[in-house]
Every structure is written in C-alpha cells, then in structure tokens.
C-alpha cells in the first residue's frame, strides 16, 4: 500500500514478449454532470433540482495519501478519470493486450429504481463512447441497476450488443445474497450474451458490514472485504445458479483468493452431510466453484513468507481461476514484479497473466 513512484510503474522486464491482460482497471467519474449528455432531461432536472451532489462512495477514503498511485490524479477530477493518463501510466508501459474497465460509481446506493437504471445506462453509454471506443485495448464492464433485476437484465441485453462490453458488474456487498432467485434474469441474460458477471468489492447495501454488526474502523471494513465474497459464493452455489446457467462465469474482483481453499474444504465436507437440502447441487461445491468462478489477483493477500501463497494457489487445485490485475489507479504493490505471486511455474504464470482472462471474457 505504499505510494509508488510512477517511474517504476511498468511491466517488469522479465515479462517481456508475453501477453498481459489487466482484468481490473478503474474508471472514475469527474462528477455527475459528466453524465448529463447521456441522461434524459427529466433526470438532469431531477439531479439539479434535488441538489444531488454525486454518488462517489467513501469506501476508500479519498484523501488517504497511499490510496492512489503517485501522479495518477489528473489536474481536474479524480484518479482514473482521464484516458490520456490511463494510456501513459498503464496501457503503454505495461504493454497490455486488453484492460477490463470497472466503474464503481455508487448506482447501488440509489433507492429509486428508475433513477438507478437511468444512471447505469448513462454510465454505460459514457463508458462506451468516451473510453471503450477510443482505444482498442479497452473493454468494459456494464454497471447494473441491481435494485431491479428485470431492469438490470434489460441493461445486460443492451450491453450485449456491443463487443466492447465483456462483463457486467454487481457489488459484493449487495442487499441480498446474489444467488437468490430474484436475480436470475440477470444471469440468464449474461449467459445468453457470453458476458461475465463480475462481483466488484464494495457496495452500499444497508446491511451491516459483518454478521455481527457494524465495525468501528476503516481497517475492519477493508480487511472484512472477503466476508461478503465468501457468502456470495456459498449463495450462488447453494441456490443452484450454475445448474440453471451452466455456461455462466462469475469473476470476483478485488476480493482476494487466499480464503477460498478453506471455504471449499468446509463447503465440500458440509455438503456431504447436508446435500439433501440442496439436491440440485449434485457434485462437490468445490468443483462447481472451480468451473465457474474466476478471481482477479489484486490486492494480493501477501504473506511475509511468499511460499505460503504458492501453497494456497496449489490448494485451489485449478490453474484456470486467477487472472492478473493491477487495480489501477489504486496502489497495492511497491514494485511491479510484486504484482504477481512469486515462485509459480512459467506455465501457470502465463495463464494468470493472460490465458485465463482470454478464456473467460468474450474478447474479439
């Protein structure tokens, strides 16, 4: 989490010549007015007249000095809001084949379904026209109005028309567990279009951040991030999402992965005793997870002993799950070579760098 001097922020020399896909790059809005060209007059008026200031969340406290890479804030607007900077700081020096953009602007904090849908559509059109269509290396994640699964499914269908979109995203901290049947129209539409459902760390659900209520400190909020992901994977598998949608792929974004092997062990063991309750889960949950879940690697939950992370990756029993990410413009590593777990085989490193993402997303 130390501040990075950008002169060092580039693809490590050791990786030269190898394909590299960054599966988590952030796109930020300068302000709500950025979306005005993409909003109907009705909603522009609504935003102006209500004095709505913006939907940027404080999930990451914005002024923490080591939150963003040094030099990643443009003269005007937040880090991640300037295409030229994105090119000069990430796409070019890291020699990316593709970068998958994510926009975490807080559409999920809106209680009005119609407004949420209008904002999501505006963000997606803005993303398409001002980012994705401006650089052939960029691919997008369509934001969904999860408040209303039918409107969200319609947005998936809209996004599916554009090859620039490869994913749709929902927040990890959702109002209900994501496996619940009410969400299934989203998954039906995503499967039909070959779009990945990305679960992005964050969200403003109204639920306490932990099963034991609200924590006191930001460090608890931040270290607790994997809890919601654990509950989401349980829900998706237990409800039978991947039985109903056997081609669906889910990507966890910024959720870590070191917690997954113990969760799979526990889930498999308990499934043996309790499977009668979920008879559609007809094979061990770990197999379902390995077939359907992909995970971006940053932030890495690095142990002081790097071999321990290699042990964890071995315990996944699957080389297809992890996908390289920088989480640009967030700062997660001191030296670029530390962006990858150390000590992996060349074959596995190559899969993480690009192969797994190329097999997961509908890049064309």
Coil/strand/helix, residue 12? coil
Q: Which stretch binds a second copy (CB under 8 A): 28-36, 40-48, 49-57, 202-210?
A: 202-210
Q: How many CB atoms lie within 10 A of CB 109?
A: 16
Give whole-number Cα distances, 13 to 112, 144, 180, in Å.
49, 38, 46
Tokens representing residue 189 in the block: 């539409």
Stretch that binds a second copy, among 28-36, 141-149, 200-208, 348-356 (CB under 8 A): 200-208
| Residue 136 is a binding residue for a second copy (CB under 8 A) | no
Task: Report which DSSP code applies to 298.
Answer: P
> Nearer Cβ to a second copy, position 192 or 209?
209
Restricting to residues 67-96, which ones interact with a second copy according to CB under 8 A?
Answer: none
- Interface residue with a second copy among 23, 104, 172, 339 (CB under 8 A) is 172
Residue 218's nearest CA partner among 345, 86, 80, 59 is 59
Q: Does 179 help bind a second copy (rule: CB under 8 A)? A: yes
Q: Which CB sits closer to a second copy, 198 or 355?
A: 198
Contact 163, 364 (CB under 8 A): yes
| Contact window for a second copy (CB under 8 A) among 113-121, 206-214, 339-347, 353-361 | 206-214
Residue 66: CB minimum distance to a second copy, A:
6
Is residue 46 a contact point for a second copy (CB under 8 A)?
Answer: no
* 293-296 sheet: strands from edge to edge: 21-27, 98-103, 138-143, 165-171, 196-200, 250-253, 293-296, 322-323
Nearest residue (CB) to a second copy, 247 versus 270? 270
Judged by CB under 8 A, which of 36, 158, 184, 259 binds a second copy?
259
- Which CB sits closer to a second copy, 97 or 207? 207
Q: Which is nearer to a second copy, 125 or 175 (CB)?
A: 175
Q: How many residues bind a second copy (CB under 8 A)?
A: 72
CA distance 234 to 226: 12
224 binds a second copy (CB under 8 A): yes
Site for a second copy (CB under 8 A): which residue of 210, 247, 282, 347?
A: 210
**Whole-number Å distance between alpha carbons of 37 and 41:** 9
Among residues 11, 73, 139, 173, which is the contact residue for a second copy, using CB under 8 A? Answer: 173
Q: At what angle do helices 225-239 and 260-274 cross, to 10 degrees?
A: 30
Q: What is the 3-state secondary structure (H, E, C) of 174-192?
A: CCCCCCCHHHHHHHHHHHH
Binding to a second copy by residue 109, rule CB under 8 A? no
HSE-CB at 281 with a 13 A cutoff on CA atoms is 25
Q: Which of 97, 112, 235, 350 binds a second copy (CB under 8 A)?
A: 235
271 is a contact residue toward a second copy (CB under 8 A)? yes
Classify 230 as helix, strand or coil. helix
Pick one of 55, 91, 110, 178: the residue that binds a second copy (CB under 8 A).
178
Q: Where are the beta strands (DSSP E) in 118-164?
A: 138-143
Specify the DSSP element, H or E, that contains 26: strand 21-27
Residue 138, classed as helix, strand or coil, is: strand
Q: Mask: binding to a second copy, 296-335, rule CB under 8 A, as x and -? A: ---x-xxxxx--x--xx--x-x------------------
> Whole-number minimum distance, CB 271 to a second copy, in Å?
7
Quote the least distance from Cβ 179 to a second copy, whole Å.
7
């Amino acid at each position: 989490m130390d501040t990075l001097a950008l002169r060092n922020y580039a693809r490590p020399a050791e990786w030269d010549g190898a394909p590299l896909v960054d599966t988590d790059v952030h796109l930020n809005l300068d302000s709500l007015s950025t979306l005005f060209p993409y909003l109907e007059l009705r909603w522009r008026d609504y935003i102006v007249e209500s004095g709505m200031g913006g939907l940027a969340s404080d999930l990451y406290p914005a002024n923490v000095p080591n939150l963003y890479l040094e030099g990643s804030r443009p003269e005007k607007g937040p880090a991640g809001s300037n295409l030229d900077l994105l090119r000069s700081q990430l796409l070019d020096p890291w020699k990316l084949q593709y970068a998958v953009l994510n926009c975490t602007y807080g559409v999920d904090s809106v209680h009005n379904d119609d407004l949420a849908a209008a904002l999501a559509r505006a963000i997606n059109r803005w993303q398409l026209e001002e980012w994705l269509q401006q650089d052939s290396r960029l691919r997008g994640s369509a934001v969904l109005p999860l408040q209303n699964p039918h409107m969200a499914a319609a947005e998936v269908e809209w996004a599916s028309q554009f090859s620039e979109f490869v994913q749709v995203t929902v927040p990890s901290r959702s109002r209900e567990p994501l496996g619940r049947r009410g969400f299934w129209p989203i998954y039906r539409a995503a499967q039909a279009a070959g779009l990945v459902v990305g679960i992005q760390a964050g969200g403003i659900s109204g639920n306490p951040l932990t099963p034991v209520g609200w924590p006191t400190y930001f460090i608890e909020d931040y270290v607790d991030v994997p809890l919601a992901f654990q509950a989401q994977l349980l829900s998706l598998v237990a409800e039978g999402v991947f039985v109903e949608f056997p081609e669906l792929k889910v990507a966890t974004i910024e959720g870590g992965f070191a917690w997954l092997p113990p969760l799979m062990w526990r889930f498999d063991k308990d499934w043996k005793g309790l499977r009668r309750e979920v008879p559609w889960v007809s094979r061990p949950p770990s197999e379902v997870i390995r077939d359907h879940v992909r995970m971006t690697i940053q932030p890495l939950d690095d142990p002081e002993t790097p071999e321990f992370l290699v042990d964890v990756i071995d315990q996944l029993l699957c080389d297809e799950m992890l996908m390289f990410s920088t989480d640009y413009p967030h700062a997660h590593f001191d030296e670029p070579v530390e962006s990858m777990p150390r000590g992996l085989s060349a074959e596995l490193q190559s899969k993480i760098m690009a192969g797994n993402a190329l097999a997961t997303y509908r890049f064309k």
